[in-house]
Amino acid sequence: MQDDYPHLREEPLESTQVFRGRLLDVRLDRVRLPDGEECQREYVRHQGAVVVIAQLDDGHLLLVRQHRYPLRRSILELPAGKIDPGEAILETASRELLEETGHQAAEWRYLGVMHPCVGYSDERIEIFLARGVRRQGEQNLDSGEFMDVLSLSLDDALAAVKSGEITDAKTITGLFWAEKAILAGW
């Protein structure tokens, strides 16, 4: 995407990889600011992910509950996962829905993209609405992945956001989109 505000642009001068893991890359860059001064920017590079709003025929949405180690607690989330190199985002969404919930969808709609942590990461999360969702089998979780699958009405999921039970940014954003796409016909 083109930067329409060149007067705000920071120009990279030097980039150093500080850490490289399976999931992310940590970088330290020296940049020139719009006023000509230089400073350092530290940030996380991420290959991107998808989040799936999976609507069952009865209108309920599929969610998963899994332990998130950085928070040291279990979190209620929409199904989601990282985009593998060279994988189309719709393929990722379909794969993650099947792996995490054992469900497949007959109909897919791309809703948009979000950047959850713009101050320190280039991560993007592509948002999909899946309909005609039917159980095809058991979960096929990655090694080290453990989660429960449950379904909630959209109203109950939104109430869980309001009460603070759901705090995950991609899930809150996905539920906002679900409310608009399902109820308001976006």
123 noted as active-site residue: no
Q: What length does the chain have?
A: 186
Give the three-class secondary structure for 181. helix
Please state, in angstroms and rounded to a whole number, the distance separating the CA atoms of residues 107 and 128. 10
**Quick one: tokens of 50?**
């998808």
Element holding 113 (H helix, E strand): strand 107-114
**Sign of the torsion angle spanned by Cα atoms 16, 22, 24, 26:** negative
Kindly calculate the radius of gyration of the chain based on its CA atoms and give it in whole angstroms.
Answer: 19
Render the burial of 100-119: b for 16+ CB within 10 Å, e for the rest.
bbbbbbeeeeebeebebeee
Name the active-site residue from 37, 87, 91, 145. Answer: 145
How many CA atoms lie within 13 Å of 66's alpha carbon, on the beta-carbon side?
20
Q: Which residues are catalytic?
A: 145
